Amino acid sequence: MEIYRYRFFFFSGKGGAGKTTFSTLLALKLSEKFKTLVVSLDPAHSLSYILGKKIGEKPTKVTENLYALEVDIEGEMKNYLRKVKEEAKKVVSPLLLSEIEEQIELAYYSPGAFELAMIDVLFKVKESLSKEFKKVVFDTAPSGYTLRLVALPELLINWLDRLLSMRREALRYQRLSQLKEKKSLEEILSEDPVYRALTRRKKQYSSLRELLTGKDTLFGVVFNPQVLPIEVGKKTVEELESLGIPVKLLIANRFSDPSPLNSLFPDKAVIQVPPQEEEPVGIEKLKCLLHVIP
Ligand SMILES: Nc1ncnc2c1ncn2[C@@H]1O[C@H](COP(=O)(O)OP(=O)(O)O)[C@@H](O)[C@H]1O
Ligand SMILES: [Mg+2]
């Protein structure tokens, strides 16, 4: 497994399987050669715990080449809603605004809001930090969330396409009905705030899909020796691949005997991490595990 040829890393698997531990370990390994950032999107903020150091909302230096960042996803959700409200203010009549604001408040508690906030965060990190850092490891939340997050962009892109063509048609008719038309349709579209907002969103989601499914991304699944997590992990691999995300690496975490993963998935790379007597917490203990990554 040539880990260095990838730029972005994601790990899925059951809560407690060892995602944060392995993400951190991998980031430490990558940082031997490249400036690396490990980002936590987990509301439990376990990165600070695994690194044994308080990690902030700006990249925090951990070692010479390793930085860590914990994103306050709740705060991001509030930011996201504020932005949606501001966008709505530009395009909606004042009469409708209070009604819409109420709907947006409700949306905060709706299913999918968390995932949307995550998309915004992923996008922001990718846009603003991937220039500074050669490698970015994303420590994602448990598999259910992760899968929904991955499925969302595809749905949203199709939905945005439909909205865009509806808006285009509406503006085309409006233009036809004008007696002394001067502007071309393309000109009208480029000035229309609704059309522009939709186009911007579409670009964001396309870029996110590229991030999640592109060839620079390594998607891995973390397994545990117990029977249930292996079943859950197998399902996770199948679901990810049915969404168009090839799973390139499996982590056999806490396996003391040879794991069954090589025979279950003969065409995938497997990295085995033996169970540690003491929790592998803090840089010094993590360093003792670096040899498991080839
Ligand atoms: N190989 C291992 N040996 C011993 N303890 C481990 C191992 N891998 C992870 N742990 C411990 O298990 C707990 C859960 O790991 P964590 O990486 O936080 O899981 P996740 O991010 O998947 O929820 C942590 O306390 C961590 O220190
Ligand atoms: Mg975790």
The pLDDT value recorded for residue 220 is 92
Residue 7 — very low, low, confident or very high, per pLDDT cuts 50/70/90?
A: very high
Please state, in angstroms and as integers, the Cα–Cα distance from residue 136 to each residue in 101, 127, 147, 231, 269, following that order. 36, 12, 19, 29, 20
The pLDDT value recorded for residue 178 is 80
> Which residues, including other chains, have CB under 8 Å from residue 205's CB and lie 6 or more apart?
119, 153, 156, 157, 160
Which residues does ligand 1 sit against, CB inside 6 Å? 13, 15-21, 46, 50, 253-254, 273, 275-276, 279-281
The pLDDT value recorded for residue 233 is 82
The pLDDT value recorded for residue 72 is 84
| Number of domains within the chain | 1
Domain span at residue 143?
A: 3-292
The pLDDT value recorded for residue 103 is 74
Take atom 27 of ligand 1 and give the residue whose Cα is closest: 279
CA–centroid distance, residue 34 to ligand 2 (Å): 23
Take atom 25 of ligand 1 and give the residue whose Cα is closest: 279
Pocket probe mutation, ligand 1, options 10, 20, 21, 257, max atoms within 8 Å of Cβ: 21
246-276 residues labelled b (16+ CB within 10 A) or e (exposed): ebbbbbbbbbeeebebeeebeebbbbbbeee
Question: Which ligand neighbours the alpha carbon of 42 most closely?
Answer: 2
Tens digit of each residue's pLDDT (9 = 90 or more) over 156-201? 778 888 999 999 999 999 888 887 767 899 999 999 988 988 888 7
Question: Which ligand neighbours the alpha carbon of 16 most closely?
Answer: 1
The pLDDT value recorded for residue 142 is 41
The pLDDT value recorded for residue 111 is 62
The pLDDT value recorded for residue 112 is 64
Average pLDDT, integer, range 65-73: 92
Q: What atom of ligand 1 comes closest to residue 222's alpha carbon?
A: 22
CA–centroid distance, residue 92 to ligand 2 (Å): 41
Question: Could you give phi then psi for residue 102, rounded to 5 degrees?
Answer: -65, -45
CATH code of the domain in which 105 resides: 3.40.50.300
